[in-house]
Amino acid sequence: MPSPIYRKTAYELVREAAYELGKGGKTFTYQDVLSYIRSKYPDAPHKDDTIEIHLWVLSINNKSAANFHPSLYKRAFLIDLGGGRFKLAERGETSDKEETEKSDDLNPEEIAKEKMENYFGVRLEKKRLNIFGKYKEFDLVNIEENIVGDVKHYTFKGSNPAAQFSTISEYVWLMEKLEQSSGKKWRKFIVGLGNRETFVKYAKQYGPWLGDIEIYFIDENGKLETIRAPSLGI
């Protein structure tokens, strides 16, 4: 039997969590929202990155979000306090119209897919790949051209994004293991959205260990930037 269609959008989940956690003017973090959703809705298919980008776009003081996803920003009801903390906006500050279109879920993977397909000139798709007998899913794959990449969206602006660095490094390691397992050379890349500095700092800090890994960034206007590409001398 086919899997049932999940009914709640990421917007609806984030809104419910935020209004529950933010009662009485309390502040809350991205991790608080994520824990609420994973605990109450364990079957929700939305990725952690999708939840994080919704928090960013739904914060009325993140003005650039209006360019990145204007229809969702119109429903903004949060204040981004920085450092990964949020609170509910005061009455009269929001532009929430209580819209419920299911198609309005924000998906950074779709944005990255379009940009990277145009850049590489090939079709890319989400796919599970065999790595020494175990399967791992990557966001952007073309098996015929041996291209593999993954999408990361981070809005954290602290001085030490250790958790984000750890996740990126995990995928870099997996891509290297994929090459060893398949016996083939792959074009390997990470494409980032959100806070550009996270990806710039990562490339600078771990550059000597990254081999031929490429790192790209897509800004709020949809512009693609190459942060690291050894074959191009970057």
Q: Count of alpha carbons within 13 Å of 110, Cβ hemisphere only?
A: 9
Rounded Cα distance, 96 and 77, in Å: 6
> Are 118 and 40 found together in one domain?
no
> DSSP E strands: which ranges in the chain?
28-29, 78-82, 85-88, 125-131, 134-142, 147-154, 187-194, 214-218, 224-228
> Are 17 and 118 found together in one domain?
no
pLDDT at 29: 94
> Are 16 and 76 found together in one domain?
yes
SS3 152: strand
Tokens found for residue 72: 């969702």
pLDDT at 222: 85
Last residue of a domain, one of 101, 124, 157: 101
Biggest alpha carbon–alpha carbon distance for the chain: 59
pLDDT at 97: 43
The residues near 153 (Cβ < 8 Å, ≥ 6 apart) are 49, 50, 52, 53, 108, 192, 193, 194
Tokens found for residue 200: 């710039």
pLDDT at 1: 38
> Are 114 and 90 found together in one domain?
no
One-letter identity of residue 85: R
Last residue of a domain, one of 101, 118, 148: 101
> Are 85 and 115 found together in one domain?
no
Last residue of a domain, one of 66, 101, 136: 101
> Are 165 and 224 found together in one domain?
yes
In a domain, 50, yes or no: yes
**Contact indicator for 123, 144 with CB cutoff of 8 Å:** no
pLDDT at 91: 66
SS3 59: strand
Domain that holds residue 163: 108-232
Q: What residues of the chain score a pLDDT lower than 70?
A: 1-6, 68, 91-106, 156, 158-159
Instruction: State how many domains the chain has.
Output: 2
Tokens found for residue 173: 């390691």
Rounded Cα distance, 139 and 100, in Å: 27
Q: Which residue has the tokens 């608080």?
A: 32
